[in-house]
Structure 1
């Protein structure tokens, strides 16, 4: 038996006027997902527990069957695991975005949480320059992918320093959040000095010359210590692989005992190497029991408030991930179970995440007595759940069902 978990990050949405009051999922042509939904079952899953931030860290941890209440310590430690960065007991890891901000006097506005989706090659040069100029025994910077990087800090931070994700505050005044870093002298000094290094770096000079957004500031958030997690092979007696372009998911793969498969050209955006991801997934399934394929593009376009681009991201996910993987596994004639889902909603009108229960489809190649007969959209899943009662209260309950364990639907 093969198990396939396909995650379109942030696909869920609400009706968008620019799309004729359809959601991006309703506006998108998704024949592969619709076929699976009609022949499978539709369910709702609460991936974000009450009181937890509706981020991809909490939600994807939940989708892999881990209760955030037990295992969540912050986003950055998951990304550190992906990067092979060890976090000592007296250290914290911070997610470090390269961002573009605008200063007007002492006011600061978050213009772009990704510095114009800066390339990995460019961002590596910038982070290495900041490390050389600002790194100490207390603070170390590690380059990651695109705008996503890491800071490891030896010590504890004051409770008054409450960090926030920059993608939640696009085109908003973030002065109050920026000033909170002043509660920790070392972190604030890093942010101030880093801005000077970035302002004078040739990479940013070239980006400005080309009319691109510069990476003119760091933004630290998602801090935490390394979590202790029992692996999926130990818990469910299956081995598997993780395919994603982002450090967060790759870190979850490391900590959950999955083989992390890196695909050349995987970017986490619309230009990602979909074909390479699909081929890698089929290779994993040829050797192992379980594969996770994560696609970031729907979430990124949601954060940018781009409705048409989000439709494109969902269609690409359907045509270039779901369809070829299902075609390949069907050709193997081995029984399989596939789930297509999002981790959370990222509505384009809000440009941030929501903690609503997520609609998902579950298809079993062995067939169902009462398939849904419905396509895969938010509205259709809600209607199906009103009839079938398949609303699961946690990701752990979902994952047990996915792995064919008997669980209580409540």
Structure 2
């Protein structure tokens, strides 16, 4: 049976930069494998973020997996809770909780770092454990995740005003004032009290760069129709981040764990490839997600983002292509959203993609693969959830 592989470089697309001679990081990167595939592929743009929804990886990856975020998305936190298999009630509210670095937790405070210096999981674990202890007797339960990405479960919170709090994602407000978010937190006093307690503890704790927690992306528990029933395919996801793992687990897909996969530029690329190819011996669809280009975009580092894209080409796309070259396979390369270095956050621009069929290569694709050539190819998919269906059909 034919195999389908989605290779997703999170945040790979971006905007032109003077420092790169008017090119994007993708355009400037050395990507011989992508450029080899482009002339033989169907290329185009896809709108992964529906109008009116925030351009986050939660929304965009849900679209790429074939689900309508406007129907199924409840929040960032619930997706990551699904990754951990948490037992939740339908009235619980689940928050994504970042460890962050603030100047101070006052109206004069500024968000300095959404990741607390990309804190490691071993560094974060005792901090979150202590926060969990401190939350005893409150409606909140702190749950450890990985690196800076953790959860805060608010029992019965969906029935409270906290469900409506409008808190900005911390990666969207780097070097910005946090006053409007504190005003929102203050409208639910129990949340503000937890924030203040956490801030006092973390500020006194000198073993890491974390000075506060930042709950956001709250929602009720996630439910998705089974991927196998929806598409008739046995599917799996490979990722370092709980967001993608949660989408996969909620959809009944296999979640392939890879030692050393960390969401950064030094992730275990070979382990991800090995896990994907091993799964394709028994399944038909695998979604391989690489976080590094997005993290580099948030850092505002054009050269590092360029390098992350080169590593994606060399150590993900190239070996997958080599392994499947003589199989009946469809290889799709794309990203979930733009993460322009100049913005240091996500935008809702339609993303470039290529679709390569190993047994039916095209001859009319662009010479190279980047944002401009994908746009120039003339194919536009306005509803992100339809990209997967399109790739499985005869016209791709």
Under a length normalisation based on structure 2, what TM-score does the superposition of the two structures give?
Answer: 0.96
CA distance in 1, matches of 2:110, 2:172: 12
Match of 1:128 in 2: 129
Please tell me whether residue 397 in structure 1 is matched to residue 386 in structure 2: yes
Could you tell me whether the CA contact under 8 Å between 1:242 and 1:261 is conserved in 2?
yes
- Deviation at residue 373 of structure 1 after TM alignment: 3.7
Equivalent residue runs for 1:71-86 within 5 Å: 71-86=72-87
- Deviation at residue 362 of structure 1 after TM alignment: 0.4
Could you tell me whether the CA contact under 8 Å between 2:82 and 2:222 is conserved in 1?
no
Bigger drift between 137-146 and 51-60 goes to: 137-146
Please tell me whether residue 384 in structure 1 is matched to residue 377 in structure 2: yes
Match of 2:267 in 1: 272
Could you tell me whether the CA contact under 8 Å between 1:243 and 1:260 is conserved in 2?
yes
Extract unaligned runs of 5+ from structure 2.
Answer: none
Q: Sort the Cα spacing of 1:87 and 1:279 in 2 relative to 1 into closer, same or farther, 3 A.
A: same
The secondary structure found in structure 2 opposite 1:66 is coil
CA distance in 2, matches of 1:361, 1:256: 25
CA distance in 2, matches of 1:320, 1:305: 23
Please tell me whether residue 375 in structure 1 is matched to residue 379 in structure 2: no
Could you tell me whether the CA contact under 8 Å between 2:239 and 2:288 is conserved in 1?
yes
Please tell me whether residue 327 in structure 1 is matched to residue 342 in structure 2: no
CA distance in 2, matches of 1:190, 1:35: 53
Equivalent residue runs for 1:163-312 within 5 Å: 163-201=167-205, 205-207=206-208, 214-312=209-307
Match of 1:210 in 2: none
- CA offsets per residue over residues 374-409 of structure 1, 9 Å max, x none? 211001111111xxxx211112221111122779xx
- Deviation at residue 285 of structure 1 after TM alignment: 1.3
The secondary structure found in structure 1 opposite 2:365 is coil
Could you tell me whether the CA contact under 8 Å between 2:100 and 2:116 is conserved in 1?
yes
- Deviation at residue 49 of structure 1 after TM alignment: 0.6
CA distance in 2, matches of 1:260, 1:23: 32
CA distance in 2, matches of 1:328, 1:136: 54
Bigger drift between 128-137 and 74-83 goes to: 128-137
- Deviation at residue 271 of structure 1 after TM alignment: 1.5
Q: Runs of 4+ in structure 1 displaced over 6 angstroms?
A: none
Match of 2:330 in 1: 337
Could you tell me whether the CA contact under 8 Å between 1:241 and 1:284 is conserved in 2?
yes
Could you tell me whether the CA contact under 8 Å between 2:105 and 2:199 is conserved in 1?
no
State which of 322, 337, 340 in structure 2 corresponds to 1:347.
340
- Deviation at residue 77 of structure 1 after TM alignment: 0.5
CA distance in 1, matches of 2:40, 2:23: 24
Could you tell me whether the CA contact under 8 Å between 1:46 and 1:358 is conserved in 2?
yes
CA distance in 1, matches of 2:394, 2:187: 48
Q: Sort the Cα spacing of 1:185 and 1:103 in 2 relative to 1 into closer, same or farther, 3 A.
A: same
- CA offsets per residue over residues 232-280 of structure 1, 9 Å max, x none? 1011111021100000000001011210011111111112111111111
Could you tell me whether the CA contact under 8 Å between 1:134 and 1:194 is conserved in 2?
no
Please tell me whether residue 161 in structure 1 is matched to residue 161 in structure 2: no
- Deviation at residue 161 of structure 1 after TM alignment: 2.2
- Deviation at residue 28 of structure 1 after TM alignment: 0.3
Bigger drift between 98-107 and 112-121 goes to: 98-107
- Give RMSD over aligned pairs: 1.6
Under a length normalisation based on structure 1, what TM-score does the superposition of the two structures give?
Answer: 0.92
Bigger drift between 91-100 and 232-241 goes to: 232-241
Could you tell me whether the CA contact under 8 Å between 2:39 and 2:363 is conserved in 1?
no
Match of 1:8 in 2: 9
Could you tell me whether the CA contact under 8 Å between 1:74 and 1:222 is conserved in 2?
yes
Q: Sort the Cα spacing of 1:105 and 1:403 in 2 relative to 1 into closer, same or farther, 3 A.
A: closer
- CA offsets per residue over residues 152-196 of structure 1, 9 Å max, x none? 112223476211100001111112212310011111111000112
Could you tell me whether the CA contact under 8 Å between 1:34 and 1:374 is conserved in 2?
yes
Extract unaligned runs of 5+ from structure 1.
Answer: 208-213
Q: State how many pairs are aligned.
A: 392
- Deviation at residue 34 of structure 1 after TM alignment: 1.4
- Deviation at residue 105 of structure 1 after TM alignment: 6.6
Bigger drift between 274-283 and 59-68 goes to: 274-283
Equivalent residue runs for 1:20-169 within 5 Å: 20-103=21-104, 106-136=107-137, 138-154=139-155, 155=157, 156-158=160-162, 161-169=165-173
